[in-house]
Amino acid sequence: MYSYLVKKLTGISVIGLSALALAACSTSSNSSSSETVAVGILQYMEHDSLTAAREGFVAELAANGYTEGDKITLDYQNAQGDQANLQTISEQLVGDNDIVLAIATPAAQSLATVSTETPILFTAVTDPLSADLVESIEQPGGLLTGTSDQAPIDKQVELLGQAVPDAKTVGILYTTSERNSEVQVEQAQKLLEDAGYTVVVKGISSTNEVQDAATILMQDVDAVFVPTDNTVASTMSMIGELSVEYKVPVIGGSTDMVDQGGLLTYGTNYEALGRQTAKIAIEILEGADPAETAVQYPETVELHVNTDMAEKLGIDVSNLTVSE
């Protein structure tokens, strides 16, 4: 499969192109299209972090000469957070494309169940091991590899202590059906408790529950931690409004979540993560085996502060520092 992709791109092997040439010999336009690689993209739902990852992926491909209509065609599908859509879209994308990008853990899990030979790249997946996407980080062992968006939660807890030094109780809001969120909640709860905080965990199952759950939580806590949770991320504007109303700061899992209503994070830049994933995709398109292509962690992790939110909450963020 991987050498086949290389032959489609380079035209080096006459043998590898013979079948394509026979199928396309009737017109020169068909012959030209036979050299184009079809790239599918499955985005789990619509929110800024996932969209930024997609845009970074496409931009980096183009920056390396893989422009749509030239070397590649793009087939973008969005499941809109609907689990029922994932299976149908996954089957279509795997059947119609030479390589597919999965954005978020549910999208990657769905594609993994239907692909028997099509390489799958993933991004915005926190823990590919616990999600059963790869056998190991260094040696994925199958058709899937890509990038994790795992941010250093210990640094986020450290920053919480600096921004809200009088906090005693911290709430955690997450979606119970998202494995990526469960992993982060387990880590955050332990780190917060080790730091001396009382932790209140609140799980939700859909966006319909976020407002009530966040309201209840903010009445009882001094700060709220939200992981890189897809459902929560899609409602960050509303959570930000509640944060201002109850004067309870929100520590977000990603920079995009902070921009939408959080106070701060030491988190992943998803546009950069998408670009990082595109570089792995190019390696595979040019012959690398995903089974032997290591999963990568974010290269761009940054302190990100919503100064407007800090002003509304009356919190001084001028002296925040992250230890090495």
Q: Would you kindly state where each structural domain of the chain is located, as residue ranges?
A: 2-149+269-300, 153-267+303-313
User: Residue 3: pLDDT above 60?
Assistant: no
Q: How far are the Cα atoms of 5, 18, 97, 241 from residue 29, in angstroms, in the given order?
A: 20, 17, 19, 54
What integer pLDDT is reported at residue 251 of this predicted model?
96
User: Residue 31: pLDDT above 70?
Assistant: no
The pTM for the full model equals 0.81
pLDDT digits (tens, 9 = 90+) for 138-182: 999 999 999 999 989 999 999 999 999 999 999 999 999 988 899
Of 293, 263, 260, 265, which Cα lies nearest the Cα of 279?
293
CATH topology match: 2-149+269-300 vs 153-267+303-313: yes
Alpha carbons 282 and 279: distance in angstroms, whole number: 5
- What is the CATH superfamily name and number for domain 153-267+303-313? Response regulator (3.40.50.2300)
Alpha carbons 301 and 270: distance in angstroms, whole number: 9
Average pLDDT over the chain reads: 89
Alpha carbons 251 and 225: distance in angstroms, whole number: 5
pLDDT digits (tens, 9 = 90+) for 202-259: 999 999 999 999 999 999 999 999 999 999 999 999 999 999 999 999 998 889 899 9
DSSP letter string, 250-296: EE-SBHHHHHHT-SEEEEE-HHHHHHHHHHHHHHHHTT--GGGS--B
What integer pLDDT is reported at residue 209 of this predicted model?
97
131 close to 146: Cβ distance less than 8 angstroms: no
CATH of domain 2-149+269-300: 3.40.50.2300
Pick the residue with more confidence: 132 or 83?
132
